[in-house]
Structure 1
Amino acid sequence: MEATSVGDVAERALPAWHVAVLEDDASLRDQVIVPGLAQFGFKATGLGSAAELYRSMLAHAFDMIVLDLGLPDEDGVSVARYLRQFSAIGILVLTGRERQHDQVHSLDAGADVFLRKPAGVAELAASLHSLGRRLQAPLPGTTVDNETHSPGQGDWRLQTGGWHLVSPGGVVVSLSPSERCVMQLLVDARGAVVTRKDIIFALRQDSYDFDPHRLEMLIYRLRRKVRELALPVLPLVTVRSSGYAFVIGHPAASVP
């Protein structure tokens, strides 16, 4: 996989997408893909395992991911399936596997693009730029008219079948499937604590196959999503050693 001149891709004037490169081959990752993508205008972060990706996503908002299927701790198809459930991140699979069913399984799991190694950096960059254009969406923070909301939930409410969280001022926060699942549980509980075990079970029916750190990452990103829109603090509180609660009209400090 050889780097190609930046001039070979006319898209280099586009915004700097932040791309996670999840590849366990350190030489390929750090000496070829990451610096190669940087030449084409991307901000690229190299990661060597699924666990490292999940930790990194607590601190960074990635637009897209270049995903290898052969990882040391989790199959890449499983990672793609989780990411698609959790977010709208762009997923490009880059693998040395040649079996047809790997492509089928990857796309079924939610991958947007499937490339086989060796693929040139120019081809990879062009594919990411194409994917980036498809991911473009209206700016967050669209304001909607107030609607009747569920009693007891104050001015924060869910609408459109739970896919949007609406602030007291009517600003829409779009939710991923996992965020929708969590918020629906919390809203239905009407201020009562929902345990981590119950949330994890709802997110993944086989709770033994769900990394608890993913729940922490989901809650963190949801809070950050609200904060980045300069909205009132989301009344989603962490109840130590228990779970979470969506508390309207009560300070977080009042929850043990």
Structure 2
Amino acid sequence: MFSLQNKKAVVTGGGSGIGRAIATLFAKKGAELHIIDLSIESAQETVDEIQKTGGKVFSYACDVANQKEVIATFEKIGNIHILVNNAGIAHVGNVENTMEADFDRVMNINVKGVYNCLHAAIPKLRHAEGGVIVNMASIAAWVGIPDRFAYSTAKGAVMAMTLSVAKDFMSENIRCNSISPARVHTPFVDGFITKNYPGKEAEMFEKLSKSQPIGRMGKPDEVAALALYLCSDEAGFITGCDYPIDGGFIKLNN
């Protein structure tokens, strides 16, 4: 079950964290991986790991917020069967103290970046006679989270784009779903805590871990397993859905 043999998959932000876990798992399941990241260097560890296990992998330096770069990159890749829109950044702040430059930066990467990849990928999926898209949303699109104004706005847009694409391209055998993780322990999270809570890293890690009712953060491999299912033929009856993977955060946090 869940084989990706003879499938060509693109994963954005595949150099670390959730993206890396998705890329390596998909490669183990037989997919040919194409990793898009801000630099070749940032994707190299993932490339090395996949190559060690005999997987086929390629990497591309590309700023997903730059449409010309994205279109050129997808032209190099050619027809695809799977797109995982994983690249994204976080931001701390409410609507009052979020500056315009910060808001624009989050929108450019988390919203325009997803749009750019969708825009470039749809023709490639069509030429492959259909395929699957998974967009990385967030629990921040479902519930109010303090000081996440720009991030929540962006992830709400990602969820809406997922529904729009699923509706528009259903007749062309293109499925589109999203995943909404709660906090997942990645180097990104460690860097986020260090940057925003200097001197209180251990305290904040514990606090953020316990904010999930299950009592811990998620693991990248757990998100990757869900992405694998959604991109497999076994999920062929699923489109236009969002899947929280949140340790009970949305419905049990009371």
User: Normalising to structure 2: TM-score of the pair?
Assistant: 0.39
| Greater helix share, structure number | 2
User: Normalising to structure 1: TM-score of the pair?
Assistant: 0.39
Q: Which has the higher contact order (CA 8 A, sep 6+)?
A: 2
